[in-house]
Amino acid sequence: MSLEENKATMRRYYEAANKHNVDLAAELVAPDFVDYTNKIEGLESLKEFGNMLIKGFPDIHWTIEDIVAEGDKVWVRTTVTGTHKGEYRGGPPTDEKITIRCVDIWRIVNGKIVEAWAVDDLLDFYKKLGIRAS
């Protein structure tokens, strides 16, 4: 796949995520997908994680700020926004508006996303939700 095709795959992934279409996003992911940051292995775990985010933040939205491709990897810098309206990781809704700045690194093989790593600025997010970072 070309660098532009890999970037297009990631744009489609984020578009599906913004439509809260977990199944469509999962169509772009290989069955043996691994997200090393969020400890996700496989499609079902990815879907569960996506549904958890949507339940906790029904207006969650990713804005792509930058996208860079090299070899089989795509780096995507995003801003994630949402409002904590539902349960998230066992905690009750706080009605807090959140903003998270992220850099995600995705590896794509034959048009499918196979691996992910993330660097997220979560300190303010944790404070607003009353989560203690350990």
For residue range 113-133, what is the model confidence (pLDDT) as tens digits? 999 999 988 878 878 887 766
Residue 96: which pLDDT band, with cuts at 50, 70 and 90? very high
Q: Say if CB 113 and CB 31 are below 8 A apart.
A: no
In a domain, 81, yes or no: yes
The predicted pLDDT at position 107 comes to 98
In a domain, 28, yes or no: yes
In a domain, 134, yes or no: no
Task: Report the alpha-carbon angle 105-123-103, nearest 5.
Answer: 15
The predicted pLDDT at position 24 comes to 85
- Model confidence at 112: pLDDT above 70: yes
Report the C-alpha gap between 79 and 73 in whole angstroms. 20
Residue 84: which pLDDT band, with cuts at 50, 70 and 90? very high
Which burial class, exposed, middle or buried, applies to 70 when counting CB atoms under 10 A from its CB (0-12, 13-18, 19+)?
A: exposed
Instruction: Convert the pLDDT of each residue in 19-75 to its tens digit.
Output: 999 888 878 999 999 999 999 999 999 999 999 999 999 999 999 999 999 999 999
Q: How many domains does the chain have?
A: 1
- CB count in 10 Å sphere of residue 39: 9
**What ranges in 1-134 are assigned the alpha helix state H?**
3-18, 22-27, 43-56, 123-129
Range of 28's domain?
Answer: 3-129
In a domain, 98, yes or no: yes
Instruction: Check which CATH number belongs to the domain holding 122 and give it.
Output: 3.10.450.50
In a domain, 89, yes or no: yes
